[in-house]
Structure 1
Amino acid sequence: MARRITARDIADEVGVSRATVGFVLNRTPGQSISPDVQDRVRATAERLGYRPHRGAQTLARGASHVVLYRLPDWPMGHAMRLHLAEFTRLLGEAGYAVVTETITAAPAVRPLWEVVDPDAVVQPVPLSEEESRALATLTITRVVAPTAAVDEAAYGLVEGTRHQVRHLTGLGHRRLAFARPGDPRLAGLAGLRATAAQQEARDAGCGELVVVDTPASATEAVAALAEVTDAGATGVVAYDDDVAAALIGAAALAGVAVPAELSVVGHDNAPLCDLVVPALTSVWIDHRDLGRRTAEAVLSLLTDRDAPTREPIVTHLAERCSTAPMPPKPSSPPAPPRDAGA
């Protein structure tokens, strides 16, 4: 392995002190170093392939200009990709590099926040007690993470689910089901959304939700669909668009008409919505806007920017063909006329 080029190598090559090299490469103001020496130092650094030592820079300026975004162990779906892309773009424009890490059940040999020494830590789920204790032992005091249900709503984790329920109850559906994903990594978030859906349904005067687990395969999802229809549910609140698409596929296999017999509403408005038949109605949140809000919250901690105002999450409905009003119950046929001679 090639030896790392240091400031001492540049100093020996140019014939100046190591301090002079440091002043030039760090552009330290107030130094009387001739332009010729400065040019030779920079040219030699480039020729030798010198790269500044991140740890030394961090110690020198008291900041790493790195932000650690800790991602839950969820599949990287359409919504999170939009959120993270906007967050990374805005932090990059402000001069910060974003490093991502996936939070897993198995603890790392050494937490990444100890390796990169970030200026801030961000994650869209609350810190565990163990994580809070670990951060307390470090110098990282800038943390952006939800701490309560209201914060979870602010991150867009459950507000869209409430909109799904409102859409179906607004169409007259009173017996609803919540379809969870089969991926065990999503059990925590699915539980939050199921609870939010149940509360919204109660507020609308509906009974208990039917909660079913939905495999990604349409064939395997037929059993989940049977649970929904056997319980008399006429509307399904799906965890996300993938789950909704699996149920629509299962309905096609089982001969259940969507939306005539069963309305299905997805979550996230992914490109998939226009590809399934019937096209999927979906609730969505502007995840680019959520990425912007998260970036602004971080930058307000790292710079002299004002803290962003707490704006309510706005959810949107992309109404397509998979939901329809609850059909009226058929009226009883009129009683036959009584026989006058009877």
Structure 2
Amino acid sequence: MEKLARRRVTAADVAREAGVSPATVGFVLNRTKGQTISEATRQRVLAASQRLNYKPHQAARTLRSGRNKVVLLVLPDWPVEHSLRTNLEVLTHALAAHGYALITYTPLPQSTAPPLWAILDPAVVIGYKPFSVQDVADMKSLGIRNIIPPPDQEVVEASPDFVLGPRLQGEYLLALGHTRLGFAKPADPRLEELVEARLQLLNQVCTEAGVAPAVAKQVDFQGPSGPLAIAQWRAEGVTAVAAYNDETAADVISAAVRHGLRVPEDLSVVGHDDSPLAARYLPSISSVAVDNEQLGLYAAGLALHYAEEQPLPDPPTGAAEIVPRESTAHIDGGHGH
């Protein structure tokens, strides 16, 4: 111990003290998943680490002190589409203006790597989905206290207008005289939960209007799903389709044109997100515009509130809205604007 006091204690010292391999020390202290380490061994490593007053290297100590200025954003396994990309860009710039760096992290079930919060020891951890009880306990055991959403809240509250895009899609198409609607789903399985939530909202509109639920079909620009969906919609009398996003709307239009249909005369299509693609496509795509910049600024405000005790930001209030373009028209062929 006297020799160890003259130099920095290393993980190898802890391994010798606990009678285990350095790898085991790393697995225990980094909370590496997928390892079959007994509880007795884990406690022995932790006790040895405490006895030797083991500290990570200087960079890690700086991180642990809270001077790291890192905000860790834990994302579900979602594709980075226009809406999320815009949100991340705004969040990154807003935090950078206050000296913080944004790091994104997506935990994957098959990964055995330690969670990134155990490596970075960030000033704030933000989750775009609620954290599990186990993850919250793990973060707290590492001294991480700034967790968003807080453990007693399910989600970060925001204006309900931001999630009512499918309602706007349905009300818009019904107002144009369409009474038989379709819903276009993307092929990406990672979006299944979000897709089903949007379909449910669209069907609520249909129920309230006294029309049949939307005919939901998967559409992909590759393979036969697009032409098949168009044929099935036509067979069931669908005259307008609400798409999950603008990319899916573009796939619907492409499949419809290849099927010999005219858009919007034979089939109206409305997208979601109002991405740059919507205005550039031919025909241009009617879409739901959502102020994702407000959501990014709100997340940044929450992070700064927890990290620096800045005032708690007000939830964003900007409403989503329909942006009419060439891809939609009245059922009688009139202009959809």
Number of residue-to-residue matches in the alignment: 276
What does the per-residue CA deviation read over 1:263-298, in whole Å, with 9 as the maximum and x for residues that have no partner?
Answer: 100011122123332211111111112111111121
What does the per-residue CA deviation read over 1:165-203, in whole Å, with 9 as the maximum and x for residues that have no partner?
Answer: 121122122221111100111112112211222223223
Q: Supply the distance in 2 between the matched residues of 1:202 and 1:150 (Cα, whole angstroms).
A: 29
* Residue 303 (structure 1) aligned to one of 302, 305, 308: 308
What does the per-residue CA deviation read over 1:40-63, in whole Å, with 9 as the maximum and x for residues that have no partner?
Answer: xxxxxxxxxxxx93322234x445
* Residue 119 (structure 1) aligned to one of 100, 123, 147: 123
What do you get for the CA RMSD once the two structures are aligned? 2.6
1:218–1:289: structure 2 CA closer, same or farther, 3 Å change rule?
farther
- 1:64 corresponds to which residue? 68
- 1:16 corresponds to which residue? none
- 1:312 corresponds to which residue? 317
1:327–1:133: structure 2 CA closer, same or farther, 3 Å change rule?
farther
Q: Supply the distance in 2 between the matched residues of 1:153 and 1:202 (Cα, whole angstroms).
A: 24
* Residue 97 (structure 1) aligned to one of 62, 84, 101: 101
1:175 aligns with 2:180: yes
| Overall identity of the aligned pairs, in % | 34
- 1:272 corresponds to which residue? 277
Instruction: Assess if the C-alpha contact under 8 Å between 1:181 and 1:216 holds in 2.
Output: no
Q: Deviation of residue 81 (structure 1)?
A: 1.4
- 1:325 corresponds to which residue? 330
- Bigger Rg over Cα: 1
SS at match of 1:267: coil
Q: Supply the distance in 2 between the matched residues of 1:293 and 1:145 (Cα, whole angstroms).
A: 13
Instruction: Assess if the C-alpha contact under 8 Å between 2:294 and 2:316 holds in 1.
Output: no
Instruction: Assess if the C-alpha contact under 8 Å between 1:83 and 1:290 holds in 2.
Output: yes
Instruction: Assess if the C-alpha contact under 8 Å between 2:207 and 2:213 holds in 1.
Output: yes
Instruction: Assess if the C-alpha contact under 8 Å between 1:72 and 1:102 holds in 2.
Output: yes
Instruction: Assess if the C-alpha contact under 8 Å between 2:218 and 2:225 holds in 1.
Output: no
2:253 partner amino acid: I
The normalised TM-score by structure 2 is: 0.74
Instruction: Assess if the C-alpha contact under 8 Å between 1:219 and 1:253 holds in 2.
Output: no
2:128 partner amino acid: P
The normalised TM-score by structure 1 is: 0.73
Can you give the 5+ residue segments of structure 1 that lack an aligned partner in the other structure?
1-7, 9-51, 329-342
Q: Supply the distance in 2 between the matched residues of 1:153 and 1:236 (Cα, whole angstroms).
A: 26
Can you give the 5+ residue segments of structure 2 that lack an aligned partner in the other structure?
1-7, 9-56
Pairs within 5 Å for 1:118-157: 118-145=122-149, 151=157, 156=162
SS at match of 2:271: strand
* Residue 222 (structure 2) aligned to one of 217, 224, 234: 217
Greater CA drift, 235-244 or 306-315 = 306-315
Q: Deviation of residue 119 (structure 1)?
A: 1.5
Q: Supply the distance in 2 between the matched residues of 1:114 and 1:150 (Cα, whole angstroms).
A: 23
SS at match of 2:86: helix
1:228 aligns with 2:233: yes
Q: Deviation of residue 309 (structure 1)?
A: 1.6
1:149–1:249: structure 2 CA closer, same or farther, 3 Å change rule?
farther
Q: Deviation of residue 152 (structure 1)?
A: 7.5
Q: Deviation of residue 205 (structure 1)?
A: 2.8
What does the per-residue CA deviation read over 1:6-42, in whole Å, with 9 as the maximum and x for residues that have no partner?
Answer: xx9xxxxxxxxxxxxxxxxxxxxxxxxxxxxxxxxxx
1:163–1:103: structure 2 CA closer, same or farther, 3 Å change rule?
farther
Greater CA drift, 146-155 or 161-170 = 146-155
